[in-house]
Structure 1
Amino acid sequence: MGLAIGCAVMPRDFNRRQTAVALAAFVALANAPDWPLPGWGHDRYDVSHSIFVTIAGVAIAAVVATFLLRRTTYFRWRLIVGGAVAWLSHLLLDTLYDGRKGLAMFWPVSDARVSLPIPCFRTMQLSPLVSAHNASVFAIEAIVYGGILGIVLFGRQWVERRRCATSRSV
């Protein structure tokens, strides 16, 4: 989902290198709650998937990005906001997977767990890693998230064509 969000907010004037670096950052931000960091709580879906921790992480990342990038061609508010949306999207998407105990989204305030499962969204099995089940998980994710990416790319092309047509007619 980070790739689709990155494509949606990517400035038109970025060259290929800038686009590749920015899109890699969006993918990393969208997966931040799943990073294997000590004490991050990924296996419990609490610390790393808490809305409070996420908002704090997004705020810190936005301040650091603003400070480090403000005098570079990478600094655009739409990229900062898009990065925040990419990180936050992870929480929503994780609630949609079937077979999980739910996210402790409001940790440490509450131990309540949020789960909004869609039956076709299943989690991977770690053993055996290569299995028909995992192949179907990857296929469903490729269809759904690839479809979303396709819609975003089509939308960007459509907007660009309209922009070009409007500028020619003026």
Structure 2
Amino acid sequence: MARWQPGARERLQSVALRLFAERGFEQTTVAEIAAAAELTERTFFRHFADKREVLFAGQEDFLQLFTDPIEAAPAGTPAYELVRRALEAAGEFFPLERRTFARTRAAIIGGEPALQERELGKLASLKTRLGELMRDRGIGEPTATLAAEAGVTIFHLAFQQWIADGEERSMGELARERLDAMAALVSV
């Protein structure tokens, strides 16, 4: 087994995704992932707490993707603009070269109820954090919660379209399209 080679985390993640897609998440073991990556199980556990973390690693980075642009906005920035800034950052985080990975990951999660629950929990955490940030910036209720809920819903809808078979538009374009649709809805 290879040891202390650079790129071990990425190799483990790539191999795990392939094995999950081929064999199923539950049918794939950490030992099989490590062996296929030509690494030890110990190396696997240096990078991931368990095999679910291969799919869900980076939760804090995901949250920051949305929170950083909100925190950087000038005081008094309206809630809609804060949501727009967060969605714009999300669009940049999902370049076209990530689409294949995202599609495969989504298919694996879609096949396992426990993983679906974890994914929904990730989105719920995001809604909670965005609502807190809005309130911290002086945005009152129910506007803060509505903005957080709408922002995460728009992101989720854009992301689902972005990973759909045949979709070629960018994540940013899809998020803007959905944000514009929401703006049109409330301006009627």
Q: TM-score normalised by the shorter chain: which range applies?
A: 0.3 to 0.5
TM-score by length of 2: 0.36
Structure number with higher strand proportion: 1
TM-score by length of 1: 0.39
More RCO (CA 8 Å, sep 6+): 1
Structure number with higher helix proportion: 2
